[in-house]
Amino acid sequence: QKEVEQNSGPLSVPEGAIASLNCTYSDRGSQSFFWYRQYSGKSPELIMSIYSNGDKEDGRFTAQLNKASQYVSLLIRDSQPSDSATYLCAVNILGLNGNEKLTFGTGTRLTIIP
Amino acid sequence: DGGITQSPKYLFRKEGQNVTLSCEQNLNHDAMYWYRQDPGQGLRLIYYSQIVNDFQKGDIAEGYSVSREKKESFPLTVTSAQKNPTAFYLCASSIVGLNSPLHFGNGTRLTVT
């Protein structure tokens, strides 16, 4: 089982609709969860962080965390063509050496259809 | 403005040559990281450093070396021992701590032929 799993997509969503991106993780003790957006050929940029169970909203973005189910999601409301990108889920995972390290999923490619 | 500067943006080398990628940050972050990204494989950790003069291997350190002589700088050398060096290399930094997100540089795309 991969440490952080995402559906690679592509996920196509009509403009104005809600895009839902999902991520599961293996380490039940993980405490920190991040969503990054990466445009083609560019570096990742942080869009959301979440640390406790429940929802966290920031503008059109909502992150949802369920530690019992080891599941974190990102909702994008009123999707815009500029939201078309790859979204990376990152989770702090306990490594074999006992150190925590930020582990990334392979990303979900999202396309917003005008 | 504070940020992370990676140079060069594009780098071309012949097989068998060592090459060094530069990473400088002025965010006053203690921790710095190097990741490699290949199509469909996400980001994989090469090396990281949480303090000057100390660094740790990540998941794919073979064929790479780093140094951390200054807080602001964390150069990565891709040696001839790295079997598949062509990739997109990303440098990042953060405050040391579990809840600290990473801030990324703009990346260096290395092509080895």
At A62-78, the pLDDT tens digits run 999 999 999 999 999 99
Q: Residues of chain A with pLDDT > 90: what percent?
A: 79
pLDDT (0 to 100) of residue B97? 76
Could you report how far apart the first and last alpha carbons of chain A are, in Å? 36
Place of tokens 């996920």: A11
Q: Residue A21: what pLDDT? A: 97
| Residue of higher predicted confidence among B64 and A7 | B64
In this complex, the residue of B43, B98, B104 whose CB is nearest that of residue A92 is B98
B2 in reach of chain A (CB within 8 A) = no
Q: Which amino acid is at A10?
A: P
Q: Which residues of chain B have pLDDT under 70?
A: 1, 98
Tell if the CB–CB gap between B104 and A43 is shorter than 8 Å: yes
Residue in this structure with the two tokens 């494989």, named with its chain if needed: B41
The pLDDT value recorded for residue B39 is 82
Cα gap B20→B4, rounded to integer Å: 16
- Of B20, B7, B14, B42, the residue nearest A107 (C-alpha): B42
